[in-house]
Amino acid sequence: MAKAHENHREDVIGRANVEDTPELLSYYDDLEKYHTGALWTVANKIEPWEPKSQSVPVVWRYKDLREHVIRSVDLVTPEKAGRRVIYLNNPGRTDVAAAVGWIYAGLQVMNPGEVAGAHRHSASAIRFIMEGRGAYTVVDGHKMTLGGNDFVLTPNGTWHEHGVSAEGTTCLWQDGLDIPFVNAMEANFYEVHPDLNQAVGYAVDDMTKTWGNPGLTPSTGKWSHGYSPMFKYEWEPTYVALSKYAGCTEGSPFDGVMMDYVNPTTNGPVMRTMGASMQMLRAGEHTKAHRHTGSYLYHVAKGRGYSIINGKRYDWQERDIFCVPSWAWHEHVNLDDRGDACLFCLSDLPVMRALGLYREEAFADNNGHQPIL
C-alpha cells in the first residue's frame, strides 16, 4: 500500500494549485471588500492532509517552576486574584492560553487557612494534587479532602471552591480545564457564588465513599448527569489497581499498563469533554511509538524517564508536566530499572471519540521506535 504521505503534495490533481496573476490579485481584493475569499487561496491550509497541531511539545519542569509558583503567595491574595495560578502557556497556543490543543492547565498554590471563593462556569475542571497537606475542594456542597496524586473533578456547571485547612501546609496542585475548547465553541458562562462560599451539605468525601467501591454500586443510587458522581479518585486505590493489573497483563505496547478513570455509572469517561488515565511503565520499560488525534497533558506522578515526541527526547521526573500534541509520534521510557514510573494523563479523548474524530497509527519502521533527530 502506498504510504499516505507520498500523496501529500500540493500539485496533485484535486488540490488547489493556482498561481497569482495581476488579474487574480485584483479579483481577491474585490472579494475581500464583501467579506469573502476564493477557497483555492486557503484550501490547502484549512484542509490539511493530516492534522497539523499548532501546539509544540513542552516539558514544564517542577524544579524550575515551583519557586515561581510559591512567589505568587507574597504577591497576590486568592481574594484579589480569584485563583492564585500560574498557567502553562504553550508557545504555539498563547493566543488561547492553552497548555496543549484546547486544554488549559495551571499550577495553583494555597497556604493553610486560605480559601478561594466559590464560582461556576461552563468549563469543566480537574485538579491533580502535587504537594502539601490539608487541601480540600467543595463541589456542589460535597467536600473532598485531598492528598498527593489524588484527582478531583469539578464538572461544568457545578459550584466549586478550593481551600487548605488551618492545620495543613502550603499546597500546590495542577488545574486542568477545557477553557480554550469551551471558548472556541463560544459557550463559556461564568458566575460567582452569591454567598462567596458554599455550605457543606453532605458527609465529607461522601461521593467517593458512595461511588468508588470496586465492583459495587449503591442499590438505590441514581445519577443522570453527564459526568461522574465520583468526584474524587484517590491515588492509593489507583496504584493498587495498576499494580494488580500489571501482575496479569502484558499491557499495551504503546502505553504500558494503563487504566482509564471512569464514571462508575456508565463506565465511560469522567466528564464529557475531558478524560483521564493513569499508566504504569514497568521497570526499564520502553514503549513503542504511535500517534493519535487528541491533545494530551501528562503529569509525572511517580518515577523518572523520558519521552520521544516527534523524534526529540524530553526528559522528565516526578511532578514534571509535559504535553503530546495531536498526531505527534510519541513513546515513553522508564529510566529506573528497578521501580515503576506512573504517568497521569488528561486529554480531550472523550471529544475525539464522541465526534468520530479519533484516529490512531503505529510507527511502522525501526521496530516501532522513532530515530532521535
Residue in the block written with cell 499508566: 279
- Give min distance, CB of 250 to ligand GTQ, in A: 38
Nearer to ligand GTQ, 177 or 242 (CB): 177
**In this chain, which of 69, 164, 177, 321 binds ligand GTQ, going by CB under 6 A?**
177
- Give min distance, CB of 181 to ligand GTQ, in A: 13
- Does residue 83 interact with ligand GTQ by CB under 6 A? yes
**In this chain, which of 114, 175, 178, 331 binds ligand GTQ, going by CB under 6 A?**
175
List, edge to edge, every strand of the sheet that includes 330-334. Answer: 312-317, 304-309, 330-334, 290-292, 360-362
Positions of E strands within 241-356: 257-260, 275-281, 290-292, 296-302, 304-309, 312-317, 321-324, 330-334, 341-347
Contact by Cβ (8 Å): 56, 324: no
- Does residue 193 interact with ligand GTQ by CB under 6 A? no
Task: Fill in the DSSP letter of residue 287.
Answer: P
- Does residue 85 interact with ligand GTQ by CB under 6 A? yes
Q: Which of residues 239-268 bind ligand GTQ (CB under 6 A)?
A: none
Give 12: exposed, middle or buried? Use CB within 10 Å, 0-12, 13-18, 19+.
Answer: exposed
**In this chain, which of 110, 125, 139, 144 binds ligand GTQ, going by CB under 6 A?**
125
- Does residue 351 interact with ligand GTQ by CB under 6 A? no
Nearer to ligand GTQ, 175 or 340 (CB): 175
- Does residue 350 interact with ligand GTQ by CB under 6 A? no
Please give the residue whose beta carbon sits closest to ligand GTQ in the complex: 175
Residue in the block written with cell 469517561: 269
Whole-number Å distance between alpha carbons of 51 and 49 = 7
- Does residue 180 interact with ligand GTQ by CB under 6 A? no
88 CB neighbour count, 10 Å cutoff = 25
Residue in the block written with cell 476564493: 38
Q: Which residues bind ligand GTQ (CB under 6 A)?
A: 83, 85, 106, 108, 121, 125, 175, 177
